[in-house]
Chain A
Amino acid sequence: MRANAAAQLLRCLEEEGVEVIFGYPGGAVLPIYDALVDAPIRHVLVRHEQGAVHAADGYARASGRVGVCLATSGPGATNLVTGLATAYMDSVPVVAITGQVARPLVGSDAFQEADVVGITRATTKHNYAVTRPAELPRVVHEAFHLARSGRPGPVLIDLPKDVTLADGPFPHPQAPPSRRGYRPRLEPDPAEVEAAAAALAGAQRPVVMVGGGIIHGGAAGELRRFLETTGFPAVSTLMGLGALPADDPRHLGLVGMHGTYAANRAVSQADLVLGLGLRFDDRVTGNASRFAPRARIVHVDIDPSEIGKNVRADVAVLGDLIRVLPRLLERLLAVWAASGRPDPAPWWEALRSWQAHQGWDLHTPMELGGEEGRPLRPQGVIQQVARVAGPEAIVATDVGQHQMWTALLFPFRRPRQLITSGGLGTMGYGLPAAIGAQMAEPERPVWLVTGDGSFQMNVQEMATAVNYGLPLRVVIVDNRSLGMVRQWQELFHQARYSAVMLEPLPDWVRLAEAYGWQGWKVERAAELEPALAALAEARGPALVDVVVDAQENVFPMVPAGAALDEVLLENPGGRSPRPAQASPRRAGVGQPAG
């Protein structure tokens, strides 16, 4: 057992409860890798540092614990940048440790020197350059605290090689860490709660927007109680999916650009919007100046800088949702008890009619195709995957059409079930994130729904999955193209296709075999079920390559810049989402359905 700072670092990580590190070695971190030989912490050797940070992120999202990754200086560290930005956008607690050249060399363009603290300043919640070995324990302790408290996020620690080689003493940090400049407000101000309750109490057409903050804050139980008691309808952002079970009758589904007709209509017509832990992203609001034009907006968030950032907040409640929701409910019930509550029936009547207007939802069996020479249709395929994966599965996605179909058609039932890159929309996220999720939750099946474009962006991590015996179940929604970009070119660039066709593509089954995976290809409906069954049963990592219709587009869609009620429900010209055995819809082609 060594007694240097590298060994101390690992002891500090243990104290923080770290069980696994995703990393990749190199010169500047050799002392840390040396210390790992004796440490009880498990190290997962990824095949690219981007894989390490996405895996740490997937680990964190699946478990709620801090994910940890490790990379060498220079190229190792710069390879983390996309993953840090991904975690930062989605408020994921990750601690990244990077090697740095020895202190005397800093600033000299030494071999594999990069200003990582400078480069990652805008993609981390905070970062540190450790310049004195004695401060290492305090820095590590504080880094974990920052990563997981308040609004979570990634924190980076840059460690010069000579620091990691230095000997102690290493004074034990004070617990809990205190930084006078960092004091997240958790407890809400009673006056703010009262104002929110007063606004809610009089609402005739309220709608609750469920955001990622409910999941970050572990407040799904409080949310359920709030909705059960109030009977308010709710919509979810992409990051909020799972906080409220998909089959909850009050849930109108995904809101925003690819949200359901009912969810977007509800927000557009509401007289009160209660936003719970969301940052009103432009993918959620559509044209922000025309967002919820008839509503007073009550915004609950832990981060003061989110209040009023993208949309006005008529009432703001600053605090941790797990504390805010019970208080808000209590005050709201008190106001109702005193002055009565408006009749919710007319609002629900309107909401139910909008649900019917779309003609399908995630419970409607969608057309599968794949018969008589017709191609498989991705919506039906995703539903089939959902059935086989079952309610226990964790589902990761990549970025693109397959991600949106998964969001729309997968019946998410619990927090941390969906692992997806929302804010940055990072292609290549899915496979390493699934690896991290499987490490965090070894008992749960982990499925990945990916695209033929995204999967190639971190395909090297197939080796990692084999290396650690992780039985990932991967479904490639194979449309031979960058489907989401192709969709935009079709709809908004007069079908002038430019750089979206991906052929030649690898033979996915042979690629699977080359990596030591199992693989099956599916082109027809009859092959799908047996292949998915084999996938579910596979002992190691495996994939199914499902060849689908390349012309398919994701609907509903609110074009960028339009208001939420200016929604396209189907293709102006081409194929449209169709329930199985239903006749094609006629209404609303290409025009605002509002």
Chain B
Amino acid sequence: MEFALAVRVENEPGVLARVASLVSRRGFNIESLAVGPTEDASVSRITLVCKGDERDRERLRRQLEKLVEVLEAWHVPGESSVRRELALVRVRADPGRRAELLQVAGIFRSRVVHVDRSALVLETTGDPEKIQAWLEVLRDFGIEEVARTGIVALDRERRAVPQAEFESREEAAF
């Protein structure tokens, strides 16, 4: 079963390498990984998708939280979150099928971001299933190249932050 973890980390050099190497050292394959800045300039956010059961997920989450640069890692369940991925695809657009291709692009709400004689570059955003379906359809036209961002996930509602209660009990200083 795939699961997504959101990880808030210090925006410092080497943090991504630390997170990635921890994941593989603990025996997980990274299915998808996306990193970017957040509302707080000192914090980056990593969305990590791996495979495993509930126990694996919790094991990995706790290992991640052990890293000094990880501020928080939590599970983002599919049901209660929004998941999006952006994909860019260069598709062959033979004159005979160009119209058909544009129609398909419209159905999937993808934007045409580049056009030339032989190909189009399309952009689409969606949950991973939608992207997959979209690529299936495009395959028929002849995909030249694909670039995907990896999944980002956001809880639909503000999470009850267990962190606050946690912090009040632990030592302020050492």
Contact = CB atoms under 8 A, between A and B. Distances in A.
Contacts of B166: 185
Given A176-B173, A186-B171, A305 B59 contact: yes
Given A182-B68, A303-B66, A308 B59 contact: yes
Contacts of B13: 131
Contacts of B18: 121
B171 A309 contact: no
Interface in B52-99: 55, 58-59, 62-63, 65-71
Interface in B101-138: none
Given A146-B68, A303-B66, A308-B55, A181 B14 contact: no
B159 interface: no
Contacts of B71: 180-181
Contacts of B62: 304-305, 307
Contact of A183 (B25, B63, B167): B167
Nearest to A122: B25
Nearest to A142: B68
B10 A181 contact: yes
Contact of B169 (A118, A145, A187): A187
Interface in A154-193: 176-187, 189
B69 A149 contact: no
Contacts of B1: none
A592 B105 CA distance: 69
Contacts, number: 59
A121 B70 CA distance: 15
Interface residues of A, number: 30
A305 B63 contact: yes
Contacts of B63: 305
A126 interface: yes
Interface string B1-42: 000000001100110011001100100000000000000000
A386 interface: no
A121 B17 contact: yes
Contacts of B68: 125-126, 146, 179, 181-182
A117 interface: yes
Given A180-B71, A185-B166, A145 B174 contact: yes
Given A181-B70, A186-B170, 20 more contacts: A122-B21, A122-B25, A129-B14, A146-B68, A181-B67, A181-B68, A181-B69, A182-B68, A183-B171, A184-B171, A184-B174, A185-B166, A185-B169, A187-B170, A189-B169, A304-B65, A305-B59, A305-B62, A308-B55, A309-B59
7 contacts: A126-B68, A149-B174, A176-B174, A177-B174, A183-B167, A183-B170, A185-B169
